[in-house]
Amino acid sequence: MLTHLDSQGRANMVDVTDKAVTFREATAEAFVRMLPATLQMIVSGGHPKGDVFAVARIAGIQAAKKTSDLIPLCHPLMLTNVKVELDAAGDDLVRIVARCKLSGQTGVEMEALTAASVAALTIYDMCKAVDRGMTIEGVRVLEKLGGKSGHFQADAQ
């Protein structure tokens, strides 16, 4: 059953009023594929716009906090922690891992996905002048903890 649809099939915000406040955590990932020379420029600190990973990290954190402004039926959440990690994963790939935590009545998967996605978009924005062929790939939830549905862990790829 899709929880964002009422009995007539209309979109609505899920009522979480009676749900218990519990610890919840979600981790998501995204990848940005680029030319090896572009990644080398980022890693060596030679990008004229500055530290690409630092800017993408901040963008991801800010995005997690604004998820309910971007996704119409998401609840505004009081996140207690957001971490965004970026690393070279080979000579042409950046891996982004975003983790969001809170104690609340609804999960934080959308916040983690938004953080990873916006961090990837920020890398693209900062590097598009030197590499327009970059691709954003593999955005997904890796793990979710807490709530009624319990623990979820994605299959390894």
Any residues with CB less than 8 A from the CB of 92 and at least 6 apart, and which?
Answer: 33, 34, 35, 36, 39
- The encoded tokens of residue 147 equal 């709530």
Main-chain dihedrals φ then ψ at residue 5, nearest 5 degrees: -120, 135
Furthest-apart CA atoms within the chain: distance in Å: 56
Q: Lay out the sheet containing 22-33: strands in order across.
A: 81-88, 93-104, 22-33, 135-145, 152-153
Positions marked catalytic: 125
Beta-bridged to residue 23, according to DSSP, are 103
Terminal-to-terminal C-alpha distance of the chain: 28
